[in-house]
Amino acid sequence: MNDTETPVTPLPLPLPAAEVEVMSTKGHRKRPIGLEWRASYWFTTIVIGSGIAIDLLVYSIIIPVIPFQLEHLGYENVSALTGWLLFAYSGGLLLSTFPIAALSERYNARRWPLIIGFVVLIGSQFMFMEAPNYAVMCVARVIQGIGSSIVWVIGLALLCDCTPEQLTGQQLGFAMIGFSIGLVLGPPVGGALYSRFGFRGPFIFGAIFAFVDLLGRFVVIERKDSLKWGYDPFVPNPLALPNETDDSNEKVGSEADGPKSGGAAESTPVGPVVQTTKPLSFFAVMVLLAKSPRALAAAFITFLYGTLYSSQEPSLPVHLQTVWGLSSEKVGIIFIAAVVPTLFSSPLTGWISDKRGTEWVTMLSLILGVPWYAVMTVEGRLGLFIAAFGLSSFFSSGVISPLTSELAAVSRSIEGVGYAHVYGVFNAAFGAGSTIGPVIGGQASFLGGFPSN
């Protein structure tokens, strides 16, 4: 990685057309069709956001139907068994996160690992759908966790690679809308499909949408590749002079790709000569992050959020069925109340993070979200429960955009630490929380009733 103290312009911007012509002639390769929009940070935001949406769709689409399916198969203690299935998913996500992050940074690979991740995700859906027993279900959920880890870690790293520093929080906030959309569609669609088509319905639906979204991975162009053709997503106007780009953009460009970006930046050096450095080992990266208070604080809050959020998943469907006698379809509809507000909270807190910093918006989101969990334990009117559910989700989900933006800033401030590294930490912290959360929630619900929050 380049020295962060020495800004480097990644390519000669004054004559991009000439540069592209030279490269096309020498390499006998044509300029990619739609290079500008395929490499732009807005298109990448859409691709990553849709990937997150599909990942959460195939994850949440079976939450309302698992308890009913386990009962149909003759299992008892359904809430606890559902918790262990969620545990298997989170375990696969947790164990695979750091190897995925390390390999992505070492080989500077984003696009093809994302494609592989979606193939794994689709395969896990068919495996779970055809699982003959509970043990195979658990294995399928582990594999799904691995695919999700690839989608999250590498997807967020790819987005930060092509997004200017001053817009990181905003773009991450828009991408996190996919988190909400996936959770909005998953439970109600899963409940409806299960009621009408049986257990296979939700899985076939999720696999079809995942396959369609897989096509987007083939279309997107990484920044390190677009630079070879004379286009930099940091500078949408290719005719802009080098001094029109602010220093922060140049700094991000040098850190995002460094000596690995290749192409025009290497064939026609501009500015100071950059020395190629050996990538840090995974252990060295973890030591650097462990010494960063900002990274530790972000990881800890992410862990708490993952624990709190996932602890409700095995107990909420059973609670709604027991107290208000709701079917699987109606349970799925109730989940909409928790997710629709987050369509607005993530972009809002991401925008505020870019303007005012991440500390206060994160703290306020946590403080304002806690009281509503207590209201949810009141077994009174269903409307009160739905309102409390929605408000708790609105405030608590607001921490995701500031946390991911903060980790991106940590990556830029520590030489040798890449975006995949910090989002590996994010994914691992969330995975650890969501690993123990379902077990805590399921067992607490089984032993003492719903108020496990």
pLDDT of residue 55: 93
Cβ–Cβ contacts within 10 Å for residue 12, how many? Answer: 18
Residue with structure tokens 């799904």?
144
pLDDT of residue 220: 92
Angle of CA points 410, 426, 218, to nearest 5°: 95
Q: What is the DSSP letter of 278?
A: P
Cα–Cα distance for residue pair 369/354, rounded to 1 Å: 22
Digits of tens for pLDDT over the chain (453 positions)? Answer: 444 444 443 443 333 443 334 344 344 468 889 999 999 999 999 999 999 999 989 988 887 788 877 887 788 888 778 878 877 887 888 889 999 999 999 888 898 999 999 999 999 999 988 888 888 889 999 999 999 999 999 999 999 999 998 889 999 999 999 988 887 788 778 878 888 888 889 999 999 999 988 988 899 999 989 998 888 888 755 443 344 344 444 433 333 343 333 333 333 333 333 334 567 788 899 899 999 999 999 999 999 888 887 777 667 777 788 888 887 667 767 777 777 788 888 899 999 998 888 888 999 998 898 888 888 878 778 888 888 888 888 888 889 999 999 999 999 999 889 999 999 999 999 888 877 877 776 666 555 555 444
Cα–Cα distance for residue pair 339/324, rounded to 1 Å: 20
pLDDT of residue 77: 80
SS3 276: coil
pTM of the model: 0.77
SS3 451: coil
pLDDT of residue 116: 94
Are the beta carbons of 187 and 60 closer than 8 angstroms?
yes
What the block records as the tokens of 285 is: 């990266």
Cα first-last separation, the chain: 44
pLDDT tens readout for residues 13-31: 333 443 334 344 344 468 8
What the block records as the tokens of 373 is: 């969990």
pLDDT of residue 419: 94
Cα–Cα distance for residue pair 128/88, rounded to 1 Å: 12
Are the beta carbons of 142 and 88 closer than 8 angstroms?
yes
pLDDT tens readout for residues 24-55: 434 446 888 999 999 999 999 999 999 999 99
Residue with structure tokens 């994302």?
114
DSSP 339-366: HTTHHHHHHHHHHHHHHH-SHHHHHHHH
pLDDT of residue 53: 93
Residue with structure tokens 């409806």?
192
Chain-centroid distance, C-alpha 408: 13
